[in-house]
Amino acid sequence: MAGPPIVFAGAPLDRAPVERRRPEWLAARRADPEARSLLLSERGLWVEDGRLVLVSPGDDALFLGLKGGQAFFAQAVRDGDPERGRPVGLREAASDLPAHEAALAAYAASLLSWHQRHRFCANCGAPTSVADAGHQRRCPECGAEHFPRTDPVVIVRVVDGDRLLLGRQDRWEDGRFSVLAGFVEPGETLEEAVRREVSEESGVEVGEVEYVASQPWPFPSSLMVGFHAVAAGGRPRPGDGELSAVRWFDRTEVEAAVAGTSDLHLPQPYSISRRLIDGWLAMRATATAKSHDSARDCR
């Protein structure tokens, strides 16, 4: 998908999957004076002057990877606030931080969140311990091994000629609409999930389904897999309770929303949902320009 790098993607790290399993190697990276750790608390990610606050890693910091030989870690802030910086949410960080730091923040937030939610073994209930430099947890009682999970979510731009299908949830601000999305269920391909979700949420059936791009989504840890789909029938209507409204918008309506001259509000630019919408507008603009050029050539 054309455009700037997708926010939260592209963390410039060598994750060193083999080396990080060696305790002596990890201890040396942690003790390196050049090593740095991101800080996260329940209030958010710690930043200062538009950049990440980076400190020397503590004993419980989780290894993220290497950049040019420098080791990066992530650690939770538990006892008091850091000496500098302020906490911000990941959505604010997505807009304010440089792209590579936003990607680091998303990676760190997802990993730390998983550890907070998986302190006990899902198999026997015993407390688990950190392994593989933070990329695994092990149960000392039953021997089960647990790995960070990422939940796949399909997000789809459904089109019908010069119309785009958008829906809204009641909890959103007035006038906000977005493309449709939903979690992939067991036993489904991504394409099957696209067709099911669109049908369930809107009553619209889709035919052709084409992959566009993906985005790590650290809320808390999903992978948004973006698709383009062509409507094959059905009249838009809220179906499964997820959406309070769903309807077709023509290109002029969406263009007015992008320009800020309508009551329609679109997702933030850092989201893949907005990238899908902007990409559709660009496609339609290109097609219109080619049509005009062809008409001139025929004169």
CATH code of the domain covering residue 30: 3.90.79.20
Q: Amino acid identity of 291?
A: S
Tell whether 88 and 197 lie within a shared domain. no
User: Same domain, yes or no, for 168 and 282?
Assistant: yes
CA–CA distance, 279 with 157 (Å, rounded to integer): 10
**123-176 pLDDT per residue, tens:** 999 999 999 999 999 999 999 999 999 999 999 999 999 999 999 999 999 999
Decide if 185 is inside a domain: yes
Q: Which residues, other chains included, contact 194 with Cβ-Cβ below 8 Å and sequence gap of 6+?
A: 154, 156, 206, 209, 227, 229
Q: Is the per-residue pLDDT at 31 higher than 60?
A: yes
CA 32-11-75 angle, to 5 degrees, is 50
* The two three-digit tokens of residue 35, written as one number: 């090593």
CA distance 281 to 266: 13
* CA distance linking residue 109 with residue 216, whole number of Å: 11
Whether the predicted model's global pTM rises above the 0.85 cut:
yes
DSSP H helical segments within the chain, as ranges?
Answer: 23-31, 90-96, 99-117, 190-202, 251-259, 272-297
Name which residue leads in pLDDT, 128 or 290: 128
Comparing CA positions, the residue from 154, 155, 15, 147 lying closest to residue 74 is 15
Q: Is-contact 249 177, C-beta < 8 A?
A: yes
User: Where residue 78 falls among pLDDT bands split at 50, 70, 90?
Assistant: confident
Structural domain for 65, as ranges: 19-117
Total number of domains in the chain: 2
Query: Residue 13: inside a domain, yes or no?
Result: no
Decide which of 3 and 166 is more confident: 166
Q: What is the pLDDT of residues 202-223, one digit of tens each?
A: 999 999 999 999 999 999 999 9
Of the two residues 227 and 295, the one the predictor is more confident about is 227
Q: Let me know whether 96 and 181 are in one domain.
A: no
Asked if 264 and 180 sit in the same domain, the reply is yes
* Three-state DSSP string of 205-269: EEEEEEEEEEEEECCCCEEEEEEEEEEEECCCCCCCCCCCEEEEEEHHHHHHHHHCCCCCECCCC
> DSSP character for 20?
G
Return the pLDDT at 80. Answer: 86
Are residue 201 and residue 86 in the same domain, yes or no?
Answer: no
